[in-house]
Amino acid sequence: MGRDGRRGTAERHATLPAGMRDAVDSFAQHLALVDNRSTHTVRAYVADVVSLLDHATRMGVRTPAGLDLAVLRSWLARQRTVGAARATLARRAATARTFSAWAHRAGLVATDPGAALASPKPHRRLPAVLRADQAEQLMPPADSTADPLPARDRLVLELLYATGVRVSELCGLDIADVDQVRRIVRVLGKGGRERTVPYGEPAEAALRDWLRRARPELAGPRSGDALLLGAKGGRLQTAVARRIVAAAAHAAGLPRTTPHGLRHSAATHLLEGGADLRSVQELLGHAALSSTQLYTHVSVERLRQAYRQAHPRA
């Protein structure tokens, strides 16, 4: 990859023509304020759009008005030549379509060139999941020491598996989001969509221990209403939650596990236990049922493996 491919988003943004820079900034503002996208999502969209407009500039296009289907296809072709995966190409094509549709609505382009842009469908790999007995092994026993961190780590693991929430959703929880009487938690998910998720008795026991005994030991001026706290009293960061899960899996002698792996595991075990697809969709906060249907493939694959091992005529 040449020097241009190594340049960062900020450097590329700074070298864009003024009209292109203004378009990127306005698009980012629209994503954050109108579409209510997360900071992470806005950053990813902006990186792709800056790459697209940088490519267009090199083709002699100086304003968004010059974007057409040929430019979009040329950009994707360039991504393919430098080794971008099918999933990455599909994501970047989706970004190009989103940006061009916005630019058309904003009057920056006369027609929407992205409407005719096709993209490769990404391969949907089956997610890695723990077996139910492995998920049980992952959960540490109650800790009676004075150190508050084991109690917090236990709650992180119990809530991730019990609720199937995303790690960002977990770290964003406030104390008021938890109803211990009904054992439910209010989660603010992608796109600002709110949902209510139940949790079971083991998670409740971990939560009670954390709130009564351990959290007060860590709480300080930076804690606010955050449910989960870091070692210095601030809201727990997602990177720390990921380390907690990885360390617990390593200590239990289990395969490498992530918070998203626990989300996959929770969904799969619910379906294997007889939960219907719509209920699992609601629990996970999926906007489309197609996202939840992926877990049925996991369950079917496990059924197929069991059949091969056990049926005399398999």
Question: Shortest CA distance to 257 belongs to which of 278, 275, 272, 241?
Answer: 241
Question: From CA 8, how far away is CA 262, in angstroms rounded?
Answer: 33
Region of poorest pLDDT, from 61-65, 206-210, 281-285 = 281-285
Tokens standing for 39? 């900071």
In the residue annotation, 295 being an active-site residue is answered as: yes
Question: From CA 156, how far away is CA 195, in angstroms rounded?
Answer: 19
**C-alpha neighbours within 13 Å on the C-beta side of residue 231:** 7
DSSP 198: E
Q: What are phi and psi of 196, to 5 degrees?
A: -115, 130
In the residue annotation, 190 being an active-site residue is answered as: yes
Active-site position among 21, 43, 186, 190:
190
Please give the pLDDT value at position 69: 93
pLDDT-above-70 percentage for the chain: 85
Question: Shortest CA distance to 148 belongs to which of 225, 207, 231?
Answer: 231
Mean pLDDT calculated for residue range 170-178: 96
Question: Shortest CA distance to 267 belongs to which of 140, 162, 196, 125?
Answer: 162
Question: From CA 82, how far away is CA 299, in angstroms rounded?
Answer: 36
In the residue annotation, 161 being an active-site residue is answered as: no
Please give the pLDDT value at position 104: 95
Contact 73, 32 (CB under 8 A): no
In the residue annotation, 166 being an active-site residue is answered as: yes
Phi-psi region of 155 (alpha: psi -120 to 50; beta: other; left: phi over 0): alpha
Residue 213 has pLDDT above 50, yes or no: yes
Residue 313 has pLDDT above 70, yes or no: no
Contact 166, 160 (CB under 8 A): no
CB atoms within 10 A of CB 230: 18
Active-site position among 55, 92, 104, 263:
263
Active-site position among 73, 186, 213, 260:
260
Cα angle, residue 212 at apex, residues 238 and 149 outer, rounded to 5°: 40
Please tell me the chain's helix, strand, coil percentages from 3-state DSSP, rounded to the nearest 5: 60, 5, 30
What digits encode the pLDDT tens for the residues 91-119?
Answer: 899 999 999 999 999 999 999 999 998 87
Mean pLDDT calculated for residue range 229-242: 96
Contact 113, 64 (CB under 8 A): no
* Average pLDDT over all residues of the chain: 86
Please give the pLDDT value at position 285: 73
- For the full predicted model, state whether its pTM sits above 0.95: no
Active-site position among 166, 215, 264, 269:
166
